[in-house]
Structure 1
């Protein structure tokens, strides 16, 4: 939420999961690419092409990119192209405080004003049974028993989707897995709509 990495040699910063460029982690802003990347925990240093032109990256994916992924890839390349680098260690600061130091009060203010709270309110206002409201709130917070969550809790999982082999978080299960995208294609055909949510927040926004 507030830990911002200043990349130098890139060895202590994860390319997808840490916030080091733009307005947040790349995994949340490019979910389709993250869902099919081969190494979800690759570092920035590991993703760089050291013997090529400056700004080139060696990111591998588990399958050929479709049109939506190509659009995300072009946007990603434009964002990370030409970022400076040197041989010193990466630095981490707390972006929610001017001093750069962590404080619990800044976390509270962010939670009270951020989009996540607004999304929770939208969930509780929906006209669906209470059990579905609880399910949706858990989906938004990423608390459902996905491969990612099972791996964090040392459960019987390697964190990967059993159907496609991609990194399995909640958004992958319901929105970015090829099987999920097939389901959404059926929904669009059945309802004659253009719904194509990339994550739980996009789905809640449809309501």
Structure 2
């Protein structure tokens, strides 16, 4: 049979994705799928004689090697018997927050314990004590329950069950009492976060954004809309999430090493953390007080540096220039404090607060000078009087 394609030549597309995925230094599983997601989906390939041939076509290119990777999402290969499969396991298998759901008909394709097919969680999560002692954690649904009712319950455990585990097993058997499998209908995966049942990056992003564990009201405008270099924005993002290498974080990452001394190098009084270093340290708080005095504002230091970024201070007026200069001044202060901390640790050099303040003024003025809001205003004029240049 002559093959027909919905694109000009999907074979070339797939080969290009394969070459892209096998480029030196690029992980094939993630990058190839990211490449194919740039194109309209699904890409349908007709004329494939059987499922195994098509599956092998992808397997030799490094895709679909993980269990459960062939699913009804992403790029779909359609065989003559209309049993479509594709790949999307990078999103589905790598992150359980995606909450993929298996629509079970025969039960041959998916795992009894690890796939989400009954209830709101995988059975391995619902019954962790049973999951710990089961011999085959990857056993399929049909292998456990059998082809028809009554279920065979082929569950092999490594040892005799305790009383509490027997109660869990009874609860599991009762919960599946109303389950019926249809041997004539093939299994399929359903993406519950979209109405179509197909995976989309947008639905996954919205689910992650709305999850209870994500930070609420993150100061994204303060971080990403500020007129500073991108690497500085990235650094401030790390500071907000407390991911910079302060002593407390280094101790968490290397618990077997004792940091000596575990103390803030700027004040030599308290332990070093992101909140202390960038906000509560006596040297840093003096710089913050000076900035707020320049803006003629009374303030009370917030609890954390995250809160500091989230609070919408009036700063240098509500004009466009005032907003830009206030943002870059805050970020310049954070950046200069980090530079001073590293200089004292790695170079054994210490500068006084007056020198640090002059560095903040210069750096903030330079970033403001490079922004559109201050176009046409000389750098020395901006440095001379922040209040004057922000006044309409």
TM-score by length of 2: 0.29
1:44 to 122, 134, 141: 141
Task: Flag as ranges the 4+ runs of structure 1 deviating above 4 A.
Answer: 115-118, 131-135
- The DSSP-based 3-state class of the residue aligned with 2:101 is strand
1:180 counterpart residue number: none
Alignment gaps of 5+ in structure 1? 119-123, 136-207
| CA distance 1:61–1:96, change in 2 (3 Å) | same
1:75 equivalent among 148, 161, 171: 171
* CA separation of 1:9 and 1:32: change in aligned 2, threshold 3 A: same
Asked if 1:30 is matched to 2:127, the reply is yes
Deviation for aligned residue 1:64: 1.4
Distance 2:214 2:111 in 1: 26
Q: What corresponds to 1:10 in structure 2?
A: 107
| Residues 103 and 131 of structure 1: CA distance in aligned 2, closer, same or farther (over 3 Å) | same
In structure 2, list runs of 5 or more residues that go unmatched. Answer: 1-97, 216-241, 243-247, 255-392
Q: What SS class does the counterpart of residue 98 from structure 1 fall into?
A: coil
- Equivalent of residue 108 in structure 1, options 181, 205, 209: 205
Aligned to 2:39: none
1:20 to 2:127 alignment: no
Q: 2-side partners of 1:132 and 1:54: how far apart?
A: 56
Q: Hey, what's the Cα distance between the residues in 2 that align with 1:4 and 1:82?
A: 19
Task: Tell me the residue number matched to 2:188.
Answer: 91
Give the alignment of 1:169-184 within 5 angstroms.
none
Q: Is the 8 A contact 1:5 1:91 kept in 2?
A: yes
Helix, strand or coil: the match of 1:9? coil
Q: Deviations over 1:109-161 (max 9, x none)?
A: 2223335548xxxxx8xxxx5357669xxxxxxxxxxxxxxxxxxxxxxxxxx
Partners of 2:250 and 2:164 lie apart in 1 by 33
Question: 1:130 corresponds to which residue?
Answer: 249
Q: What is the SS of the residue equivalent to 1:5?
A: strand
The 1:69–1:110 alpha-carbon spacing in structure 2 relative to 1, beyond 3 Å, is farther
2:150 equivalent in structure 1? 54
Shift of residue 42 of structure 1?
A: 0.4
Instruction: Return the alpha-carbon distance in structure 2 between the equivalents of residues 69 and 97 of structure 1.
Output: 37
Q: Go from structure 1 to structure 2 and tell me whether the alpha carbon gap of 1:62 and 1:54 turns closer, same or farther (over 3 Å shift).
A: same
**RMSD (Å) for aligned C-alpha atoms:** 2.7
Alignment TM-score, normalising by the size of structure 1: 0.53
- Go from structure 1 to structure 2 and tell me whether the alpha carbon gap of 1:106 and 1:132 turns closer, same or farther (over 3 Å shift): farther
**Larger relative CO (CA 8 A, sep 6+): 1 or 2?**
1
Instruction: Pick the structure with greater CA Rg.
Output: 2
Q: Tell me the distance in 1 between the aligned counterparts of 2:110 and 2:171.
A: 20
Classify 1:131/1:75 alpha carbon distance in 2 versus 1 (closer, same or farther; 3 Å). farther
Structure 2 vs 1, CA of residues 100 and 79 (structure 1 numbering), >3 Å: closer, same or farther? same
1:146-198 C-alpha deviation (Å, 9 max, x unpaired):
xxxxxxxxxxxxxxxxxxxxxxxxxxxxxxxxxxxxxxxxxxxxxxxxxxxxx
